[in-house]
A and B are shown apart, each in its own frame.
Chain A
């Protein structure tokens, strides 16, 4: 009897606990200070989360910075936890809702306005000398305040073999004189005639954020955009105007004419094996291709479709949670200021093959410095366009991905883009304009 009673009592506690946990949701900002910083033995602990659990090269540099920082002074101790990238954003959202965010966290560039608007992160508050030195696309800004800063940016380029272009009498473009749309189309047809089944690997077998990252710059080069950046209140005219329709028709044509394939393997293997002549891909694949192709490799700017070549900007950056306060906040800022040393920036660049975010870092880099084999990429960052800095980006991103995939698969371009505009506008209205 007694035992049964206790069992029932224990069972009754379960939902109460669960409800109590639910009750904590939404009060994230009030008690963050104690949750994020604890004093142990005179040192204030500063918690840090990264998304780089699956990336040993990146993690190695972080561990180096943290141990250097921890031994350089007696006030703070940075304690890290790393997550696989796939689960990272979910972990952040869950932690934010339950008020358990760490002081320091990294985030993908385009999500910064969303998290700043939602109150997850606070203005960075580190020395402007540091953030002014960085590439503009490595800094996250929301409502004129700096919320995040990163050590590098990525860039897309067109990889080609010099021998193949020369054999087919195709002009080798330069940053000052990139291919025009007509030249690029003609080159693709020539290369198809030269025996390449699908001459361009555009990466369409991938999914997710790659789509807006890789293909919205093409749209912007045509003169369209994901949203009207003068108001940030509607996508009308930007995503379904005549320029956007021209982009859609061109993009669809790549696949219907067999100039690009919508299947294949993610990465740059097809190019390395010479199954495609041109590859529209990222800096992170450059070293592998260099090994496969050697001196014959050309790193070319993307074509100019009307308003100049464009590439996507904004990679992973660091921010400070809004729940961080007191000595832990000072520690977080001290750590970030410490971490933007040129040698660390160069280490990130060389280990991960990404473009260093400062001049000083670039000079120290083996691959991107003066005479480095990947030097051409540093010239491409001038073409970088940020994805729209609005909290609506979460919706814009998936809407654009679906729309572009539908266009690739042969749907009516006008109809698809009109619907994408409606979906984006409905979300913005639902959120009362996101504060714009």
Chain B
């Protein structure tokens, strides 16, 4: 679900080279029918895969969400109308909690991760020795498996773990260590910090690529007009980063709404539902508790919400002309 929409703005970034004009000339040169069938052959793998693993599952989920289908059952699924949706909003407080947690997570992660990524990108974009080293260091968490990262951070968050002993050291022993992941008020913030740490390097690289497309002459001109560093950022860098910004906003939002692995490995939704998310809840109800129909209903709600959020973002960041 993330792939097709993530690709869309990326095309926008390179749209200035207008690939649309090159394609017809290629086809015309090779001539009608042959070119056409070659083109179909080339889009076929992507189309078939998208159809099989995106369109079909989505359609199945829509169908299943109106039934009481189970993973294991001798009885055929029965149409139950809107029961699953009514249950989600009225009789399943964990679902409502998941909804709130998911949006809390996204509301914090999207601006902080995007901002931090930009800051780091500007820092490693300096023409100084050693920036390559820092680029690599910031990027290492991204290429590490999220499962491995989650397991390591689970140890670090324990009462006698690294986080507590670090705070203890810098406060000269005034700190009383807490079990970060076992406390309902600290568990979600702890996962937010870890998730940002893990993913920020990726967005730093995207920002960096955006920064490097801004021509040096613009900065030179700004400096000749007497602009200071902040004015240069405000009037040259930021407008130049606009397409990158849209791409980053959309990808972080979608990734943040889909939060799952960290929860599954670190807290299993607890303590007291303080870290359960929509995707985690759908997997728990739909697969572990075998309530396929209800799980499909939750997934469908999730799908519509993501679609809604992405549409609003597209609308707000649209080209005004």
Contacts and interface: CB of A to CB of B under 8 A. Distances in A.
Given A4-B37, A11-B44, A430-B68, A410 B291 contact: no
A129 interface: no
Given A409-B184, A426-B87, A431-B73, A395 B290 contact: yes
Nearest to B51: A15
Given A398-B289, A432-B75, A426 B41 contact: no
B50 to A, nearest CB: 11
B158 interface: yes
A262 B51 CA distance: 46
Instruction: Give chain A's interface secondary structure class.
Output: helix
B159 to A, nearest CB: 6
Interface stretch (A115-123, A149-157, A184-192): A115-123
B270 A402 contact: yes
Nearest to B84: A430
B68 A431 contact: yes
A398 B288 contact: yes
Contacts of A59: none
Nearest to B83: A430
A207 interface: yes
Given A114-B72, A118-B74, A431-B70, A409 B271 contact: yes
A408 B270 CA distance: 11
A8 B40 contact: yes
B130 interface: no
A262 to B, nearest CB: 6
Contacts of B125: none
B276 to A, nearest CB: 9
Contacts of B75: 431-432
B48 interface: yes
B284 interface: yes
B34 A394 contact: no
B270 A8 contact: no
Interface in B53-85: 68, 70-75, 80
A263 B290 contact: no
A14 B73 CA distance: 29
Nearest to B288: A398
Contact of B91 (A5, A117, A398, A422): A422
Contacts of A7: 41
B270 A93 contact: no
A7 B284 CA distance: 41
A5 B268 CA distance: 50
A183 interface: no
A405 B41 contact: no
A409 B182 contact: yes
B269 interface: yes
A5 B289 CA distance: 46
Given A7-B41, A398-B284, A430-B294, A406 B272 contact: yes
Interface residues of A, number: 41
Given A4-B38, A15-B51, A15-B52, A394 B268 contact: no
A256 interface: no
B72 A15 contact: no
A395 B269 CA distance: 16
A281 B58 CA distance: 45
A87 interface: no
A11 B272 contact: no
Contacts of A366: none
Contacts of B71: 93
A247 B291 CA distance: 29
B131 to A, nearest CB: 41
Interface in B132-170: 158-159
A142 to B, nearest CB: 12
Contacts of A422: 91
Interface string B288-300: 1111011000000
A15 B48 contact: yes
Among A18, A118, A394, A409, the most chain B Cβ lie within 10 Å of the Cβ of A409
A294 B86 CA distance: 59
Interface in A343-366: none
B72 A115 contact: yes
A431 B71 CA distance: 12
A405 B94 CA distance: 14
A395 B68 contact: no
A411 B272 contact: yes
Interface string A1-30: 100110110010011001000000000000
A419 interface: yes
Interface in A248-267: 262-263
Contacts of B284: 398
B4 interface: no
Contacts of B290: 394-395
Closest 4 CB pairs of A and B: A409-B271, A411-B272, A118-B72, A406-B272
16 contacts: A4-B38, A8-B40, A8-B44, A18-B52, A118-B74, A119-B74, A263-B179, A394-B289, A398-B289, A405-B270, A405-B271, A409-B272, A410-B184, A411-B184, A411-B272, A431-B70
Given A118-B72, A398-B288, A406-B273, 14 more contacts: A4-B38, A15-B52, A18-B52, A96-B72, A115-B72, A394-B288, A394-B290, A398-B289, A402-B269, A406-B271, A410-B272, A411-B272, A423-B92, A430-B294
Interface of B: 34, 37-38, 40-41, 44-45, 48, 51-52, 68, 70-75, 80, 87, 91-94, 158-159, 179, 182-184, 268-273, 284, 288-291, 293-294
